[in-house]
Structure 1
Amino acid sequence: MDLSTRRQPPTVRLRRLASELRSLRQTAGLTREDAAGQTNINSATLYRIETAKARPQRRTLLTLLDKYGVTDPARRAALVELSKQATQLGWLQAYESELPEEYTTYISFESEARSVRNYESLFVPGLLQTEGYTRAVVTASLPYARNEEVQQRVETRAQRQASITKDDPLKLWAIVDEAVLHREVGGAEVMAEQLRHLLDMARQPHITFQVLPYKVGAHPGMHGAFAVMDFPDTADPELVYIENMAGALYLEKEADVRRHTEMFDQLRAAALNVADSRKLVAGLIDID
């Protein structure tokens, strides 16, 4: 019993299925090695299933449910249905094979989130970027990328932004270091357009925008950007996303999520309030 070798970006549903299967195995009193040995499922395969790196084939899932003593028909049907839904990527499907795995993973989670709390020290948050700003960032950060690659990144960013303009929009709380507003990305015209866009978006009721001013000095966010996501279903725990030059890191442990939530709250308290943040942005482009 094995899995397709095709890369499967984690989704919220796949993450939930992985958590359910881990919990069922532990309740059955089995180690991962026990379960693998007693079901003839490859140990590496079982590890990938339990860490949301792969979706189990139907026969593999049913074998695990049998082994874990899940006999209730409704419970079995619900887990089979969850597995079916676990690979649904929506619009991202068209870009999945062309984008880095860590990026498609983040987009997949973000698209299903209820809210995102995002601190950025270097860039305007992706959900609030204009096309010109995005293009300038991608071109500068990927200097050897082909024009087609740059265009894919720009299009993907625009698709992501549908989450904050739909009927039931994602709630976004964005905090940026003041340096983000002064770094002239793409030239004066592109940056002015970006700042005007920030002001427009900051007026939306589901978007909270704050600036962490220079005068704050040292602060908890100096180690870098991060995002905390939560989801509509309480069965899906909050998730922390951190990105750096070494790659992307997802933190799920309660202590890690709590630490970053507290860090965000400290940044929120230190930042300018919403009105003063807008006033600072407006002052940079001479808007009253």
Structure 2
Amino acid sequence: MRHIPVVRRQRLGDELRRLRRSAGLTSDQTARLLGWHQSKVSRIETGVSGVRDGDLAALLDALGIEDPRLRSLLRALAGTTDGAPGWWTAYRAVIPPTYRDFITLESQASTAHTLETTVVPGLLQTPAYARAVTRAALTGTPEGTVDSLAGVRLIRQEVLTRAAAPLRLHAVVDEAVLRREVGGPGVMRDQLRRLIELARLPQVRLQVLPFTAGGYAGLTGPFIIFSFSNITDLDLVILDHLTNSLYLERKEDLKAYRVAFRAMQAHALSTQDSLDLIAGIDDGA
């Protein structure tokens, strides 16, 4: 069983307790159904201990939880690996565990609020732009690995167009993102046009923070806030770094980042003005 941060174990325990109570079961009754000692249920629900793959599946069965999306999300929260593997497991050789965790959460999220200060958000990148970003960020990486990593980023984009409950993406990007010629003029021109195309999807809201906005809260770095519709109190902030990702789950952190994001949305251009700016940059390229 993988190490899971205490805050995450507590979140899982809170949710499992809520589901047990909704099922009309006491912890003693649940333990008897599973052939466990009551203290095992208590340790899981209080976050004192984690839960193994098979135990979580058995517990969810006992509670009558059949929703596959909820089960998958709870597995992601617990860090378990049971159940049908996600498509990303085929890329285990090239993506680290933290990135697999990120993809798992992204695939189950209902909404994502993201700020990007240096590059186009991964869910909105073209293939050529994705390869150029990956190549630049991971200097010296073999081309085959670069192609695989870029391919992962492109497959991730399917969350925006899936038939069932596509991810709602609210993206704020710094104007510098649009003017930095990643991959060269041709790659950037196609990327700008792709942004305009995707920004017209009803589930995508794209705003640009123009240079004239001056300083803003997100200048210290990009971040993403994931929200989930079928589980309570699971929202989290992810700060992406070159070699790792930092997960922030405390309520104080979530509040601070939500406030910062709303402030940036208020200072950013409207969606239409943002599209006009992107088109203008494209025309001048």
Q: CA deviation at 1:244?
A: 2.3
Q: Is 1:180 the counterpart of 2:204 in the alignment?
A: no
The one-letter amino acid of 2:255's match is R
Deviations 1:10-53 (A, max 9, x none): 9xx999645446999xx98xxxxxxxxx77xxxxxx8672xxxx
The one-letter amino acid of 2:141's match is A
Q: Is 1:198 the counterpart of 2:195 in the alignment?
A: yes
Superposed CA RMSD: 3.5
Equivalent positions of 1:1-288 (< 5 A) are 3=1, 17-20=12-15, 49=50, 55-58=51-54, 76=63, 78=65, 82=71, 86=75, 87=81, 88-167=84-163, 168-235=165-232, 237-245=234-242, 247-286=244-283
Deviations 1:88-121 (A, max 9, x none): 4421121134302221111110000001011000
The number of residues matched between the two structures is 251
Q: CA deviation at 1:152?
A: 1.2
TM-score, normalised to structure 2, is 0.76
In 2: Cα distance, 1:283 partner to 1:74 partner:
55
In 2: Cα distance, 1:100 partner to 1:246 partner:
9
In 2: Cα distance, 1:19 partner to 1:149 partner:
40
In 1: Cα distance, 2:162 partner to 2:250 partner:
31
In 2: Cα distance, 1:241 partner to 1:256 partner:
11
**Contiguous gaps of at least 5 residues in structure 1:** 29-37, 40-45, 50-54, 66-72
Q: CA deviation at 1:213?
A: 0.5
CA contact (8 A) 1:195 1:281 kept: yes
Q: CA deviation at 1:234?
A: 3.4
In 1: Cα distance, 2:187 partner to 2:199 partner:
18
Q: CA deviation at 1:148?
A: 2.1
Deviations 1:125-146 (A, max 9, x none): 0000000000000011111211
